[in-house]
């Protein structure tokens, strides 16, 4: 199996999705533990929070799209080379006259 290119936009999207999922998972577990305190005192039972996969997928897609955009944007050097005059025209302007 070939090595994975870390600069690939899909890898950035996957990493962002996994990190978002872990943060939401830890936050929801903390909130659910905090809600159980009210349950022991005989107060009304609050519904348990559930983790949805939609938010990590959306975050991963946004990061993938942004990384893909910035990977395809030409740098200033590339655009300068593409916009510069051709070598034939350059020779016309740089030829030294034979007087």
pLDDT tens string 71-89? 876 666 555 555 555 555 5
Question: For residue 39, is pLDDT > 90?
Answer: no
- Give the residue ranges of DSSP H helices in 41-75: 54-72
For the full predicted model, state whether its pTM sits above 0.75: no
Return the pLDDT at 48.
72
- Residue among 53, 52, 61, 50 at smallest CA distance from 16: 61
The number of folded domains in the chain is 1
In a domain, 66, yes or no: yes
Alpha-carbon gap, residue 53 to 95, rounded angstroms: 66
Domain carrying residue 14: 9-74
Stretch 50-74: mean pLDDT: 87
> Does residue 47 lie within any of the structural domains?
yes
Q: What is the DSSP letter of 86?
A: P
Residue 35 lies in a domain: yes
């Amino acid at each position: 199996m070939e090595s994975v290119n870390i600069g690939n936009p899909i890898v950035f999207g996957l990493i962002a999705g996994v990190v978002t999922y872990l943060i939401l998972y830890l936050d929801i577990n903390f909130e659910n533990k905090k809600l159980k305190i009210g349950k022991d005192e005989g107060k009304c039972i609050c519904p348990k929070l559930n983790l949805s996969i939609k938010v990590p997928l959306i975050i991963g897609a946004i990061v993938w799209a942004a990384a893909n955009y910035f990977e395809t944007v030409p740098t200033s050097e590339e655009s300068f080379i593409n916009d510069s005059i051709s070598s034939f025209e350059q020779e016309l302007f740089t030829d030294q006259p034979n007087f």
